[in-house]
Amino acid sequence: MYELINKVKELNPLVLHYTNNVTITDCANMTLAIGASPLMSFSYEEVEDMVSVASAVVINIGTMNSSYLDLFVKAGKAANKYNKPVVLDPVGVFASKARGELTNKLLNEVNFTVVRGNISEIKFIGGLDVAGKGVDSFDDGSDASEIVKAVAKKLNCTVVASGITDLVSDGEKVYKIFNGTAKLKKITGTGCMSSSLIASFLPCTDKPIEAAFMGTLSMSLSGELADITKPAVGTFKTYLFDNIDTLDVETFEKYAKVEL
Amino acid sequence: MYELINKVKELNPLVLHYTNNVTITDCANMTLAIGASPLMSFSYEEVEDMVSVASAVVINIGTMNSSYLDLFVKAGKAANKYNKPVVLDPVGVFASKARGELTNKLLNEVNFTVVRGNISEIKFIGGLDVAGKGVDSFDDGSDASEIVKAVAKKLNCTVVASGITDLVSDGEKVYKIFNGTAKLKKITGTGCMSSSLIASFLPCTDKPIEAAFMGTLSMSLSGELADITKPAVGTFKTYLFDNIDTLDVETFEKYAKVEL
Amino acid sequence: MYELINKVKELNPLVLHYTNNVTITDCANMTLAIGASPLMSFSYEEVEDMVSVASAVVINIGTMNSSYLDLFVKAGKAANKYNKPVVLDPVGVFASKARGELTNKLLNEVNFTVVRGNISEIKFIGGLDVAGKGVDSFDDGSDASEIVKAVAKKLNCTVVASGITDLVSDGEKVYKIFNGTAKLKKITGTGCMSSSLIASFLPCTDKPIEAAFMGTLSMSLSGELADITKPAVGTFKTYLFDNIDTLDVETFEKYAKVEL
C-alpha cells in the first residue's frame, strides 16, 4: 500500500477544499507537500465548475461561518453528483448545537467517502456520550476499535478516529496506527491537514480505506519523525512539513508501526 | 506572579476568538504554545454555546469584515452575560471611520476586562491626537505611562499599550516592561498574539492586570530571546514560537526587565 | 534599478490588500519583510478611508468569496479615484466561469497599473487557449515574450507572467528573469506574495515596469537563494522569508540573471 505515496506524486490530484480560516494555509501547503494540488473556494457561484474538475473534495467545518453553511452542503451534493470522493472533517461537532446540526445535515444529504475526526468527534457522531473541550479531543487511550467500526457501519463509509492510536475502519476491517507524538496536538490543524492528506490519496486508489490509512499514517509518522530531536513547537511545525515532503516508500517501510 | 505560567498549563483554558483573517492561525498556535486551547468561530448561531463554555474571549477587529460587525458585539455581550473575561484588540482603530465606530460600539455595549493595543491605538481610544500608519503604531519612545493610566481609568478596565516599553495599567498601578526587540514589528500579528496570550492568562488569576502583564511580557521576552542570534524574519518567527513554548518561571526570573 | 530596494525600506509604503484567505498571512509577512507595511480589509464601510491613505492597492481573487465580489470592484474603482497604483492578481481565472466574469468586470471597470499571474492566467486573459490545473499553471518553458507583450498592449498596463522564466512587459519592452527554483511552486502563495512585493515597489518609482520587475525578481531570486542547500518545503519557506528580509543591492548585483 505504501507505493501510493508515489502514485499521489504521479497523479498530482486536485484537492478542492471548503474549509475553515484557521488552518486553510497549512492545509494548502500540506496538500502540496504530499504531491497534490490544493484549491480553496468560498464562492457559491463556482461550486459546479470547481467540483467537476476536482479530483477530491474536503469539507471541514472548523471555523463555523454563518455565510458558508449552505455552501458546504451544496459542495457536498455536487461531489456526489460528479462522483468525486469527498471527506468530511466535523471539527468540534460536539461543541455547539449549530455544529451538530450542520454535521447532521451534511451526513443526511451527502454520501461521504471518508469521515475523519478525533475520537471525541467520532464518538459524538456515533451517538455516544463524549468528553471534549472546545474543538479538542479527550482521549484516554483506551481501545475504541469497536466504536469506530460501528460508526463506519452506521455511516456506511470509511471512518478515521485520530488519537494516541489512530483507527481507520470501513465497518469491516480496522487498521491501527501506533506512530505519532503528543506534539501534534501542540500545533493547530494537524487534524485538518490529515483530512487534506486523505483526500490527496483518495484519487489514487479504489479502496477508500487505503487512502484514509495512508493519509493518517503520513501525518502521524511525519510528526513522530519531526519530534525525534524534541524541538519546540515552532521548529517542530517546520520539520513536520519537511518530513511530509520527503516521505517515500522506504520511510514507511522502516518506521511505520501499524496493525492491518 | 511568574508562576502563572505553570497555572496556564495546568488549567489549559479554552480561549474563544472572534478575530481577523491575517493572524488567526498564528493566534491559535500562540494560544497552544503557552498552554491554552484556542477556538475560533465566525458563526452567529453558536455564540451562546461557545461563549458559555469558554474560559476567556478575545475580540479582535483586525481585518474589518462587513459580515462580522454585529457578531463581534453579540460575542462581547455574551461574554458579559456569562461572566467570562473578555479582551478587546482594536486593531487600527484610528485608520478608518468604520473601525472607530465599531470600537466605540464595542466599548459602549461591552464591559471589557482588558483592552490591548499599540500606543497609537490606545491614545486614539483615549481621545488624543495620534500618529499611526495603517494599522501600525508610531512610537517615539516617550513615556506614556500617565496616558495609559488615564485611559484605563476612563475605560474602567486594564489597558495594555504595546511599544518600545510596554505599559500595563488598571487605572491605579502602571507596570512597565522593557524587554522586546524591534523585530517583533517585522512580522505580522505579534500584537494580536499578545492579546491571545493575555486571554490565556486571564482565567488563571482574579487580577486582570497580572494576566495582562504576563501575556504582554511573554511576547516581549520571547521576542527578545528569539532575536539573540539576530536571525532574519523567517527564522525569527519560528524561534518566537519556540521561546513561547519553553517559557518557564526560571526564564522570567532570569531575563525579565520590568518595573512593577 | 536595484537601489529601489533601499527606497522601499525608506518610504515604507502602506500596501492595502483585498485578497484571499489562503495566503493572506504570508502576503502580510512578505510585505513587511521587503520593508513595506501591509493592511488587509474585507469591509465595504472603510474602502474610501483605507484606499485614500494607502500607497498602493492589491486585488487578489484567490479564494473567490461570494461576499466580496462587489467589494473588490469597489476597491479597484477607489484606487483609480484616489490615483493609487493598483495590482490585479487574477488567481485561477481560467478555473471557473465566476472567476472569469469577476476578472472581466475588474478589467473593464478599473485601470490596473500591473496585472500579475502565472503564464496560464495571462494567456487566458489575453484570450488564448490555455492549459491549467485548478489555480496552477501549465508552463512548458517555451518563450512567451510576444504573448505577454501583446497582453500588456491590450490591457494597456504592465503585465507580469510568472514562470520558469518570468516575463515583465509594458507592451513595448520585455524584461526577462531567469532566477528561480521549481520549489517556489511547492509552497502556496508565492505568486500572491509576488503581487504584494510589486505593490510594495510601485510607490517607489514612476515606472510601473520597474516595480513589477523588482517585485518579481525579489521573489524568484530569494527562492533560488533559499534553495541552495536543497531544504525540504518547511525549511524552504522559512529561508524564503529570510532571503527577502536580507535582500540588498549587492545581492541583486551578484546573483540576478536578467535580460532587460
Assess whether pLDDT exceeds 70 at residue A132. Answer: no
Is C234 one of the annotated binding-site residues? no
As for how many domains chain A has, the answer is 1
Give the domain extent around C36.
4-259
Is B189 one of the annotated binding-site residues? yes
* CB-CB neighbours of C141 under 10 Å: 9
CB contact under 8 A, B246 and A235: no
The Cα of C193 is separated from the nearest Cα of chain A by a number of Å equal to 13
CB contact under 8 A, C241 and B231: no
Please tell me the predicted confidence (pLDDT) of residue A74.
Answer: 97
Residue of C nearest to B137 (CA): C37
Assess whether pLDDT exceeds 90 at residue B130. Answer: no
Residue of A nearest to B55 (CA): A134
Element (H, E) at C136: strand C136-137
DSSP state of C184: G
Q: Which of A43, A65, A187 is most worth mutating to test chain C (most C CB atoms within 10 A of its CB)?
A: A43
**What SS3 string covers B101-136?**
HHHHHHHHHCCCCEEEEEHHHHHHHCCCCCCEECCE
Nearest beta carbon to residue B232 from set C37, C49, C242: C242
Split at pLDDT 50, 70, 90, the class of A127 is confident
CB contact under 8 A, C22 and A25: yes
ipTM of predicted complex = 0.94
- Grid coordinates representing C65 are 468569496
Chain B residue set in contact with C, beta carbons under 8 Å? 20-23, 25-26, 62-67, 92, 95-99, 133-136, 185-189, 231-235, 237-238
Split at pLDDT 50, 70, 90, the class of C142 is confident
Is C99 one of the annotated binding-site residues? no
| Among A184-188, B125-129, B169-173, C256-260, the least confident range | B125-129
Q: Which of A130, A133, A186, A188 is most worth mutating to test chain B (most B CB atoms within 10 A of its CB)?
A: A188
| Length of chain C (residues) | 260
Please tell me the predicted confidence (pLDDT) of residue A83.
Answer: 98
| Among A80-94, B96-110, C126-140, C224-238, the least confident range | C126-140
Residue type, C20: N
Q: What is the rounded average pLDDT of the residues B54-61?
A: 97
Chain C residue set in contact with B, beta carbons under 8 Å? 12, 14, 16, 21, 24-25, 28-29, 32-33, 37-46, 49-50, 53-54, 67, 71, 237-246
> Residue C220, Cα to own-chain centre: how many angstroms?
12
Share of chain C above pLDDT 70, in %: 95
Contacts of C177 (CB under 8 A, 6+ apart): C165, C166, C167, C168, C213, C216, C217, C220, C256, C257, C258
Q: What is the rounded average pLDDT of the residues B93-120?
A: 95
Per-residue pLDDT of A69-88, as tens digits, reads 999 999 999 999 999 999 99
Element (H, E) at C166: strand C166-169
CB contact under 8 A, B42 and A21: yes
The Cα of C160 is separated from the nearest Cα of chain B by a number of Å equal to 26
Is C162 one of the annotated binding-site residues? yes
Assess whether pLDDT exceeds 90 at residue C177. Answer: yes
Assess whether pLDDT exceeds 80 at residue C130. Answer: no
Assess whether pLDDT exceeds 70 at residue B128. Answer: no
> Residue B216, Cα to own-chain centre: how many angstroms?
7
Q: What is the rounded average pLDDT of the residues C127-156?
A: 79
Chain B residue set in contact with A, beta carbons under 8 Å? 12, 14, 16, 21, 24-25, 28-29, 32-33, 37-46, 49-50, 53-54, 67, 71, 237-246
Assess whether pLDDT exceeds 90 at residue C219. Answer: yes
CB contact under 8 A, B63 and C42: yes
Please tell me the predicted confidence (pLDDT) of residue B70.
Answer: 94
Edge-to-edge strands, sheet with A158-162: A37-40, A14-18, A56-60, A86-89, A114-118, A158-162, A166-169, A174-177, A258-259
The distance in angstroms from the start CA to the end CA of chain B is 11
Split at pLDDT 50, 70, 90, the class of B131 is low
Chain C partners within 8 Å of A28 (Cβ): 22, 188-189
Per-residue pLDDT of C15-27, as tens digits, reads 999 999 999 999 9
The vertex-B15 CA angle with B11 and B17, nearest 5°, equals 175
- Contact predicate A192/A171, CB 8 Å: no
Split at pLDDT 50, 70, 90, the class of C128 is low
Q: What is the rounded average pLDDT of the residues C2-7?
A: 98
CB contact under 8 A, C64 and A45: yes
Kindly report the CATH number assigned to the domain that includes residue B44.
Answer: 3.40.1190.20
Q: What is the rounded average pLDDT of the residues A197-221?
A: 98
Share of chain B above pLDDT 90, in %: 90
Q: What is the rounded average pLDDT of the residues A210-217?
A: 98
Q: What is the rounded average pLDDT of the residues C116-137?
A: 79
Please tell me the predicted confidence (pLDDT) of residue A131.
Answer: 59
The distance in angstroms from the start CA to the end CA of chain C is 11
